[in-house]
Each structure stands twice: as C-alpha cells, then as structure tokens.
Amino acid sequence: MKITKSQNGNNLTVALEGRLDTNTAPELESVLKNSLDGITELTIDMTALDYLSSAGLRILLGAQKTMNKQGSMKVANVNDTIMEIFEVTGFADILTVV
C-alpha cells in the first residue's frame, strides 16, 4: 500500500493506494499516530484504494475516535466494494463518507 500525506494548516489529507489489510494496516496506523497532533480536519482519500479488510476498519475506527475529540474526519472517493463493506458493517453510519 502507498500512503501519501498532504497538509494545509490544520487540514490533513491521507491518500491510500492499493490494499488496506492485515499486512498494510500497521503502516497506516503508524502514519496516523504520528500525524494527527493539531489536525482539526482529516480526510482519508480512497480514490486508489482497492479494498479494505477488518484490520483496516480497526484503524479507521481509531482515527474516527481521535478526530471526534479534536475535529472532524471524512472518508472520500470510496469504490463500490468498499462502500458495501461500510454498509454491511455499519461503518457507513460511523464514518462520514463523501
């Protein structure tokens, strides 16, 4: 998986490319852990993400909880497969999917 960060003031966009699964989720967890200080708007851009498994959902849930305390979080540009995963798991209600 490729992770690209772009920051503009307190806004951070994290773009994901490839697969967010058991092997790659720790990379995203580590990037987010080190990047969210002072961030009030976080966008996870999934334009180039193929799919995610429950390991990825765990990281998104952690990020959402952090951002609930300090600002807001959006998940952008999800494909059909990922949207279905969000709907089946109830994550469509937890996350702000735009």
- Residues forming contacts to other proteins in the complex (CB under 8 A) are 19, 21-23, 50-55, 57-58, 61, 64-65, 68, 80-81, 84-85, 88-90, 93-94
Q: Residue 50 Cβ, how far from other proteins at the closest point, in Å?
A: 6
**CA 38 to CA 98: how far, in whole Å?**
23
- In the complex, minimum distance from the CB of residue 56 to other proteins, in angstroms, rounded to a whole number: 9
6, 31 in Cβ contact below 8 A? no
Tell me how far, at minimum, the Cβ of 64 lies from other proteins, in Å.
5
**Pairwise CA distance, residues 32 & 63, whole Å:** 7
